[in-house]
Chains A and B, each alone.
Chain A
Amino acid sequence: MKLAIKLVLITIVSISFFGCQKYLDVVPDNIATIDDAYKDRVSAQRALATCYNQIPRNGTRFDPGFAAGDDIWIHQFIDDTSLDRWRQYYRELAINGNNVTRPLYSYWHNIEGGSALWKAIRDCNTFIANVHKARDLDSYEREEWIAEAKTLKAYYHFYLMQLYGPIPIARENLPATASTEELMVYREPIDEVVAYIVQLLDEAMPNLDLQVNNMVADAGRITRPAAAAIKAKVLVTAASPLFNGNLDYATMVDKRGVALFNTVEDPNKWTLAAQATKEAIDIAHEAGIKLYHHQTTFNVSDETLEVMQVSQIVADKFNEERIWSLSDFNSSSTNIQNLGLELQTIPRLHSDHANVVYQWFVPTLKMAELFYSKNGVPIEEDPDYTYDDRMTLTFVPQDQSPYMQPGYRTIGLHLYREPRFYGSLGVDGGWWFGLGRTNESDQWPLDFKFKSMTGGMIGNQRYTTTGYYIKKLSNFMSGYTGKDTYVGKPFDFPLFRLADLYLLYTEALNESLSAPTPEVYEYIDLIRERAGLDGVVESWAQHSKYPQKPTTKEGMREIVRQERNIELAFEGQRFWDLRRWKKSIEYMNQPVRGWNIQGETPQEFYQVITHNRSQYTLRDILWPIMQDEILRNKNLVQNPGW
């Protein structure tokens, strides 16, 4: 065979250059620019609305103030992996603690439950810098809107400061062209952060209206009382032990050598706080804001009215005590993804309710011990209250019938307590007014023992894990129109209400004086009077083992703190209050206790069960900054322990 070799070699060398051709290098028309967002009043108002939409949502699982404290315990049902992960932040925090990889409730980074507060601040800055472009916006309205944006900007800085401590200050927006060095901002010392927040609020307050004029369209908008209340809260927080001369953070010095915490306590901060709080109270009064007293058309006894009033202070929509509230977050939705607050707290009282309610938030036993005796003093201080028998079984006597079911077998802890106890908590052996039963003699009788239809453990998910329910966060006019059809009365969750300011003022004034003056008692006594209790001095003199307690600064400090925890229970305040008092480590490490919900008899039920929660240490107070952020910005100092 003849071999013929044919070699064909085709070499194609193609070197192609593709580049940016000029005809492609055009900017399309009709691209929205910043000027379009402010071209007229309507557009500018829309831009203002975006400044509002990142407000941390108190009264929801997204707010650590509400969900991450020691007052509420969380149902393990939400660990079920068939449910989406988003509901687990608060339980994950309780069980595992926080972390730096993906911090929980991260308001710095907009992840794991937190909202985008730095974006919100940027939106406010953009608004303030551009709103003048809206030609048809008159100057009066424009100044008011700018004041709203400034107040929000101050509030967002404050919220970040509460969580993280020292934070960078975003006075103005950094442009897209900013150099890497400019982007690497520093955290500013606490005192400077506070000064800047206060400066913003002082600039805003004169231009804000006293009241929202159109409640239908504008409920929830910033008013002068709201700005003044924020300022009061900021200054009280700055004067409190966490941020005033706290030596725990003395080593927090940044790369410039700037100390981020002040290490010397400044008592004058309490004086400033007291002044600002008094000013806020006066502005609120001027705006017609006053303590809420519930009026009812139902024929009920004074005792029952006092109990009903407790939840109505929160759940009566836009009532006269509100200073600032969030109007749209507490829906009556029965969809599990967007469940209304009421349905996350109230018990199942009938088989008709069984498929509607979830008890994700239930009170810990600690909260049941917190409330005063009927004499308005702590139960351990009241000689008339048999404190040592509080865990002993007893029968409800006839004279307690407005509060508890006569003849019911319960423990001493549930008897002879102040009305706020029965109004804030659903208690085994107690009553539940409303939810379709508005006749006083026909209230829902509560029985939380195993297999009881009225709130006991049935099935695997819809029951209290501690043996208590939160009664305070629901309106008694909500109800069921039939099986599984819930008709809720949604309400605006308060961020600030007048009682909060009264108690801040009492606290700040007491701290600023060497010993309490009559003015210290004035505002706390107004709260107590509404709750059906005598004044502080009188109550302690007559009913406490320590009759002189209100006359000393230290005694009064304890009294006002407990009053605050009671009056504002379950309103998302206690978490922040414990932090600023430097009490978090002490309280968060106390065991999480509840009753044995698998007990069928009173003897079995009233056994204390302890739930596991991770240990709380110093590092758990100031939130971790995500590791990724520290890598991006070398000038940020991480919080201690992370």
Chain B
Amino acid sequence: MENRDITWETSRKLNLSAEVGLFNMANLVVDLYKEHRYNILMNRAFTPNTMGVIVLPQANVGEADSKGIDISLEANKNFANGWFVSSRGNFTYAESKYIKYEEPDYSAFPWRSRIGLPIGQQFGFVAERLFIDDEEAYNSPQQFGDVLGGDIKYKDIDRDGVITDLDQVPIGYPTTPRMTYGFGFSLGYKGVDFSSFFQGSAKSSFWIDAATTAPFVAPATGQKNQLIQAYADNHWSEDNRDLKALWPRLNDIASTNNTKVSTWFMRNGAFLRIKQVELGYTFREALTTRIGIEKIRMYVNGTNLYNFSKFKLWDVEMGGNGLGYPLQQVYNFGIQCSL
């Protein structure tokens, strides 16, 4: 379906930048921006199927605002008594929202509208708890597929007696963090040096991928999944009807109900990671030149040493699928020689 009026997306951007040198030792850079994008190409949401077009017509109708701040700071100082210190840090905060979004008339279902919400906002069901038993599942609003005791019970937002897409609401933060930061420092005294680097992010959500981590189920073409210890320890069963269990009813067929995006598997994606720490010692030149070596430095370092996060099942940076290959912790011990 052609639309001859399609044109480029337009953007108006305001950047403010300041660079400040302080006390001959520090340098601070602050960037502020504000962007207004409009004429965003979008599918016309109003085209009903009865029009008979498979590829929905598109038009430049979207409008979005975003704003953010970038800060970076660096400082170096050598002290007369032999100490030296240097540090650096950066910080980014950005947020965005739709001003205009082509969507059906949601006036009767205001929670479905994306207008005013961040780009990348996730929609999902509100999980109340697990069903106590089959009886309760049968007598509740109809959900998805065969729902039995121990399956996730969703909230019927529009109270029409059925759980449908209209019962999805904005949940959590977008999956891309709004705030990311990193900082590190090095310090030394005589031959000893010590450095470290931290990184982190905040204001993001992620979802445990219930479809790919489901135990005993073979996703798509592969082998059947193993059972994650955490699920084994904390799941709903006939003998242990824990209505807040981590994992709902076990099943060897992927449950269409429990794998929907919902608050049940929503987790806080914020973390602070000790990315790298290094300790080194450089032998005095007077000692080393005697054996014909200009410099010898011994060091020990480690990466991914620790992660501060509310999520404990697996490394939070792996996202929803804990069965993937994890980030590795690495330790090195080494000697550097310069001839």
Contact = CB atoms under 8 A, between A and B. Distances in A.
Interface of A: 3-20, 24-25, 27, 79, 81-82, 92, 95-96, 99-101, 108-110, 116, 118-123, 125, 168, 170, 173-174, 176, 178, 180, 183-185, 626-629, 631-634, 636
A627 B50 contact: no
Contacts of B11: 18
Nearest to B104: A631
B105 A173 contact: no
B8 A24 contact: yes
B57 interface: yes
A99 B141 CA distance: 13
Interface size class, chain B:
35 or more
A593 to B, nearest CB: 21
Nearest to A186: B50
A118 B21 contact: no
A118 B14 contact: no
B54 interface: yes
A7 B48 contact: no
A79 B253 CA distance: 8
Contacts of A173: 52
A183 B21 contact: no
B49 A17 contact: no
B164 A100 contact: yes
B124 to A, nearest CB: 14
27 contacts: A6-B21, A8-B19, A11-B16, A11-B17, A12-B15, A14-B14, A15-B14, A19-B10, A20-B10, A25-B7, A81-B254, A99-B164, A100-B164, A101-B164, A116-B52, A116-B54, A118-B52, A119-B54, A178-B51, A180-B46, A183-B47, A183-B48, A185-B48, A626-B49, A627-B166, A633-B46, A634-B105
A626 B162 CA distance: 14
Nearest to B17: A12
Given A6-B21, A16-B12, 6 more contacts: A12-B15, A13-B16, A99-B164, A629-B48, A631-B105, A632-B48
A16 B219 CA distance: 49
A4 B54 CA distance: 70
Residue of A13, A79, A631 ringed by the most chain B CB atoms within 10 A: A631
Contacts of A20: 7-8, 10
Interface in B103-144: 104-106
A184 B46 CA distance: 9
Contacts of A17: 12
A7 B28 CA distance: 11
B46 A632 contact: yes
Contacts of A627: 164-166
Contacts of A120: 52
Interface in B11-47: 11-21, 23-24, 45-47
A571 B166 CA distance: 39
B291 interface: no
B145 A176 contact: no
Contacts of B14: 14-15
A633 B164 CA distance: 18
A636 B104 CA distance: 14
Contacts of A7: 20-21
A118 B217 contact: no
A170 B53 contact: no
Contacts of B48: 183-185, 629, 632-633, 636
A8 B1 contact: no
Interface centre among B1, B48, B106, B219 (most CB of A within 10 A): B48
Contacts of B233: none
Contacts of A628: 104, 165
A119 B52 contact: yes
B61 interface: no
Contacts, number: 121
B3 interface: yes
Contacts of A632: 45-48, 104
A447 to B, nearest CB: 32
Contacts of A10: 17-19
The 3 residue pairs across chains A and B that have the minimum distance between CB atoms: A122-B52, A631-B104, A118-B52
Interface in B79-125: 104-106
A629 B49 contact: yes
A279 to B, nearest CB: 31
B164 A95 contact: no
Given A14-B15, A96-B145, A176 B165 contact: no
Nearest to A5: B23
A95 B256 CA distance: 14
B285 interface: no
A595 B49 CA distance: 44
A78 to B, nearest CB: 12
A118 B50 contact: yes
Contacts of B106: 631
Interface string B275-303: 00000000000000000000000000000
Contacts of A6: 21, 24
A65 to B, nearest CB: 21
A303 B219 CA distance: 51
Interface string B217-228: 111110000000
B217 A81 contact: yes
A192 to B, nearest CB: 15
A109 B49 contact: yes
Nearest to B29: A10
B18 A11 contact: yes
A125 to B, nearest CB: 8
Contact of A122 (B10, B53, B105, B164): B53
Contact of A170 (B45, B47, B50, B254): B50
Interface in B190-220: 217-220
A100 B17 contact: no
A4 B24 contact: yes
Contacts of A636: 48
Given A10-B19, A12-B15, A632-B45, A176 B57 contact: yes
Nearest to B219: A81
Contacts of B220: 82
A125 B50 CA distance: 13
Contacts of A12: 15-17
Contacts of A92: 145
B162 A100 contact: yes
Contacts of B7: 20, 25
A633 B105 CA distance: 9
A9 B11 CA distance: 28
A5 to B, nearest CB: 7
A174 B24 contact: no
A16 B14 CA distance: 7
Interface centre among A3, A8, A125 (most CB of B within 10 A): A8
Given A95-B146, A110-B49, A8 B20 contact: yes
Contacts of A27: 4
Contacts of B20: 7-9
Nearest to B27: A8
Contacts of B239: none
A551 to B, nearest CB: 48
A183 B46 contact: yes
B165 A101 contact: yes
Interface string B44-74: 0111111111100100000000000000000
A49 B106 CA distance: 40
B238 interface: no
Nearest to B220: A82
Nearest to B52: A122
Given A12-B15, A81-B253, A183 B51 contact: yes
A512 B38 CA distance: 65
A17 B14 CA distance: 9
B299 to A, nearest CB: 32
Contacts of A176: 1-3, 57
A501 to B, nearest CB: 31
Nearest to A180: B46
Contacts of B218: 81-82
Contacts of A108: 49-50
Contacts of B217: 81
